[in-house]
Amino acid sequence: MTKKKQIEDGPLKCPECDGDAEPMMINVSGLGIAGWRCSCGYEMLSPSELEKAYNFLQAQKRERVKISKRGNSYMITIPKAIADAIDIENLDMVEVYLKDRKTIMVEV
């Protein structure tokens, strides 16, 4: 029985110029996504990476969230699109710090 070749296994024919598109990381708004680039400039994303790219683009949309108080601490919720884009789960630990007077940073 032969192993089925995966689409990610090497070069693909470019639909624009019929040249060979080589596997490489494609920049999607600052996120590296596996895909192919042809010498003509045409880029294709890997089908297995499309959801990752979509989640990342959705997470870049601004959303308004409320600040609530619990005991002596204040809380904000993280929108689902952001949680999906960075693969955070319940009870994950993050670092929170003040960057400047108007910017709170959260690092996963």
In the block, which residue shows the tokens 């995966």? 6
pTM, full prediction? 0.59
Span 29-51, mean pLDDT? 89
- So what's the pLDDT on residue 3? 47
Residues 17-54 as b/e (b if ≥16 CB within 10 A, e otherwise) read: eeeebebeebebeebebbbbbbeeeeebbbeebeebbe
- Rounded CA separation 17/38 (Å): 9
Span 32-47, mean pLDDT? 91
- So what's the pLDDT on residue 51? 85
Span 17-35, mean pLDDT? 89
Domain locations along the chain:
12-59, 67-107
On the question of pLDDT at 31 being above 90, the answer is no
What is the per-residue pLDDT across 56-106, written as a single tens digit (0 to 9) for each?
888 989 889 999 999 999 999 989 888 888 888 887 888 999 999 999 998
Phi, psi of 85 (to 5 degrees): -65, -35
Is residue 9 very low, low, confident or very high in pLDDT (cuts 50, 70, 90)? low
**Inter-CA distances, 94 with 88, 89, 91, 97, Å:** 10, 11, 9, 10
